[in-house]
Amino acid sequence: MTDFDVIVLGSGPGGYVAAIRAAQLGKSVGVIEEKFWGGVCLNVGCIPSKALLRSAELAHLLAHEKQEFGITGDASVDFAESWKRSREVAEASATGVHYLMRKNGITEISGRGTITGPRSIEVRAEDGSVSSYRFGDLIVAVGAIVRLISGVELSPNVMTYEELILSEQLPESVVIGGSGAIGVEFAYVLKSFGTQVTIVEFADRVVPTEDAAVSAELLRQYRKLGIDVRVSTAVESVKDTGSGVEVITTDVATGDSEVLSADKFLAAFGFAPRTQGLGLEAVDVQLTDAGAIAVDSRGRTSVEGIYAVGDCTGKMMLAHTAEAMGVVAAETIAGAKTMEIDFDMIPRATFCQPQIASFGFSEEQARDRGFEVAVATFPFMANGKARGIGQTAGFVKIVANAQNNELLGGHMIGPEVTELLPALTLAQQWHLSADEVARNVFAHPTLSEAVKEAIEGIAGHMINL
């Protein structure tokens, strides 16, 4: 039996970051991974999807906008080559994780880990052999599983993001169940390469966790792209016919049913914390009512010496949330100075087109929490850089406390807005008011000037609108 100061179960964004931070702080560290070194994000999620999205943007430009940019002649983007590049990008990222493990003296353990006691875990390798390890502290970072709804079972034509992103072949038509990040990102990729796309969303608006104004703008832009978007519509069942799928839907308001036919169905209803098969019951780790691993603000579970980070805790299920939690957990274990996470203010990024980026409270949420709210919005149509690059859809919306102009939330939809978030979250974290942020000099011409203008709107002196 091998001993480690810290064992990390799972090598995704939360796991490998926690492992590195623990090693930096002088701990001996082992990481157990069953399938994807680097996790879903690097292998079949965040990273390869961004490679596909970049190709989709170029495909859309060549098909619909080349005249605007003076592009002549015949040109197109080949999906097979784009897909090949996305796999190369993913593999390079995963290779980078192995490099980081070696660089930091971390031991890689391949196999399925199961907790067997308060300080022990066993790992079953692919060949069936079993090894046992002891730990001083354990960090569980096993992520989440795809959430399915009643009436939907996976099959050759009923897919999750994983099967779709690993497929070199494009369907001619697809129905996507759900309009969260995965649903709207894949919708843009598929539509840009010529697939007929229908989105079915139970809520009364797309990307329903975003500010209502952002939802309305994305719906407008997606319908302009020719994507068939059905809101207030329930997926009742999906039948795999062998040659395609039949999707029975119901209008939430009227109760009317409709059958949608397509080649494929993408289940994008969200995720559920992964907690089964880990041996949590062997040490009585408590779960929340929602079935996630219950943790405190440092990632500590109900069992001393066992921590959990990332999606398995049911916190905001984003890679950067897991990374931040991993750092805090490692620093807590090592007795190092750390800083707890304000989960209400975690940034959110959706890489549809136009992109969506947000943090904090929506206007409605801020009012519901009793704040006297000030709101300012600046459209990208009035931003010089946006006009120059030909991407003027969308806006920056700032929500602030009217009593002191401190930021409560930011909601953006438009070109590269995911890159504009740090200026806002940094200001919020250190309690800068809009008046103070407005005194920062933003370079010209940049998209970030739209943030400056919206901030100046809160401060009372917006210039360019």
The DSSP bridge pattern shows strands 173-177 and 196-200 to be parallel
Q: Quick check: is 444 catalytic?
A: yes
Spatial neighbors of 264 by CB under 8 A, at least 6 apart, are 157, 158, 159, 164, 171, 173, 174, 175, 244, 245
The DSSP call for residue 417 is G
Contact 39, 13 (CB under 8 A): yes
Burial (Cβ within 10 Å: 0-12, 13-18, ≥19) of residue 99? exposed
**Which residues lie below 8 Å from residue 67, measured CB to CB, with a gap of 6+?**
none
Q: What totals of helices (H) and strands (E) does the chain contain, helices first? A: 13, 22
How many Cβ atoms sit within 10 Å of the Cβ of residue 204?
Answer: 13
3-state DSSP assignment of residue 347: coil
**CB-based contact 307:140 (threshold 8 Å):** yes
Q: Which entry of 60, 98, 320, 444 is annotated as an active-site residue?
A: 444
Long-range contacts of range 316-320, CB-CB < 8 Å, 24 or more positions apart? 316/343, 316/346, 316/348, 317/144, 317/271, 318/346, 318/348, 318/349, 319/12, 319/13, 319/14, 319/39, 319/41, 319/45, 319/46, 320/13, 320/346, 320/347
Closest CA to 155 of 234, 266, 273, 268: 266
Q: What are phi and psi of 176, to 5 degrees?
A: -110, 120
3-class DSSP string for 147-183: CCCCCCCCECCEECHHHHHCCCCCCCEEEEECCCHHH
Half-sphere exposure of 4 (CA within 13 A, CB side): 27
Residue (of 215, 410, 455) closest to 465 by Cα position: 455
Q: Parallel, antiparallel, or unpaired for β 271-273 and 348-350?
A: unpaired
Helix (H, G, I), strand (E, B) or coil at 413: strand
How many angstroms separate the CA atoms of 308 and 329, rounded? 8
* Contact assessment for residue 339 and residue 297, using Cβ atoms and an 8 Å cutoff: no
322 vs 38: CA distance, rounded Å = 12
Closest CA to 167 of 107, 94, 80: 80
Catalytic residue positions, numbered: 444
